[in-house]
């Protein structure tokens, strides 16, 4: 078996670092909540050790598939390292500053506290929720600013890897159309969020219109 390349080692190190950062944030935020807002702390419950093993194994498999698909040319390897670190670093304090408002919603079990200017009749019920009690749900510039960082923390650094799972079936489905140079292929992403998946599609399929 060939030794892993330096680039693969760098990718593995990056993923491990993102995982540790996500876990560290959760541990620290849990401790701070227990001290400053104990009534907002989530109830602790025993987690089955086998389940933890399954999650770790799933993350390991995800990392392996992510690398293999980049190796196969489904998307450029550079995409494995595309994380807006400076942008996230600037926004990270906003995650902490938002925490007291999150505590208040947890205490009162408020799950539908959205900006007052939003007309609820214009949105399906799903979009009118404060998932994980986050401020403004999906419906403000503030929530969009910190959304990608929050998702990375939530999924321990695997969010981009999970998003990339759409690229292989997408390319496979478009294969016969991409060979026809006379047609301009269009890809529509509905409910696109912050557009991070679209960035990945653009990198993998630069010839299509998004």
Q: Structural domain tally of the chain?
A: 1
Considering the domain boundaries, does residue 91 fall inside one?
yes
> SS3 for 186?
strand
Q: Which domain holds residue 98?
A: 6-41+82-157
Q: In angstroms, how far is CA 198 from the centroid of its own chain?
A: 13
Considering the domain boundaries, does residue 99 fall inside one?
yes
Considering the domain boundaries, does residue 162 fall inside one?
no
pLDDT of the chain, 210 residues: tens digit per residue: 566 789 999 999 999 999 999 999 999 999 999 999 999 887 777 778 899 899 999 999 999 999 999 999 999 999 999 888 888 899 999 999 999 999 999 999 899 999 999 999 999 998 899 988 889 998 999 999 999 999 999 999 999 999 999 999 999 999 888 877 767 889 999 877 889 999 999 999 998 999
DSSP state of 209: B
Q: How far is CA 172 from CA 169, 178, 204, 205, in A?
A: 5, 10, 12, 11
Question: How far is Cα 15 from Cα 99, in angstroms, rounded to an integer?
Answer: 26
pLDDT of residue 136: 93
Which DSSP string do the residues of 90-109 spell out, in sequence order?
A: HHHHHHHHTHHHHHHHHHHT
Considering the domain boundaries, does residue 170 fall inside one?
no
* Residue of 158, 9, 187, 29 whose CA lies nearest to 98: 29
Considering the domain boundaries, does residue 137 fall inside one?
yes
pLDDT of residue 3: 67
* Residue of 96, 193, 163 whose CA lies nearest to 135: 96
Considering the domain boundaries, does residue 126 fall inside one?
yes
pLDDT of residue 129: 92
Considering the domain boundaries, does residue 51 fall inside one?
no
- Indicate the pTM of the whole model: 0.85
Residue pLDDT, tens place only, 49-75 = 899 899 999 999 999 999 999 999 999
Considering the domain boundaries, does residue 105 fall inside one?
yes
């Amino acid at each position: 078996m060939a030794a892993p390349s330096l680039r693969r080692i760098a990718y593995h190190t990056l993923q491990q670092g993102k995982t540790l950062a996500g876990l560290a944030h959760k541990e620290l935020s849990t401790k701070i909540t227990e001290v400053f807002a104990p009534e907002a702390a989530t109830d602790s419950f025993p987690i089955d050790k086998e389940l933890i093993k399954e999650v770790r194994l799933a993350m390991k498999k995800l990392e392996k598939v992510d690398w293999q698909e980049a190796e196969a040319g489904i998307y450029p390897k550079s995409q494995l390292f595309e994380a807006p670190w400076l942008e996230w670093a600037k926004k990270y304090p906003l995650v902490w500053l938002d925490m007291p408002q999150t505590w208040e919603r947890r205490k009162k079990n408020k799950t539908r506290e959205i900006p007052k200017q939003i007309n609820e009749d214009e949105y399906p019920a799903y979009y009118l929720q404060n998932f994980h009690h986050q401020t403004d749900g999906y419906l403000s510039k503030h929530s969009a600013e910190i959304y990608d960082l929050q998702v990375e923390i939530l999924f321990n650094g695997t969010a981009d890897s999970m998003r990339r799972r759409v690229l292989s079936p997408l390319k496979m489905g478009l294969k016969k159309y991409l060979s026809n140079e006379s047609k301009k292929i269009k890809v529509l992403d509905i409910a696109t969020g912050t557009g991070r998946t679209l960035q990945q599609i653009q990198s993998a399929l630069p010839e299509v219109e998004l």
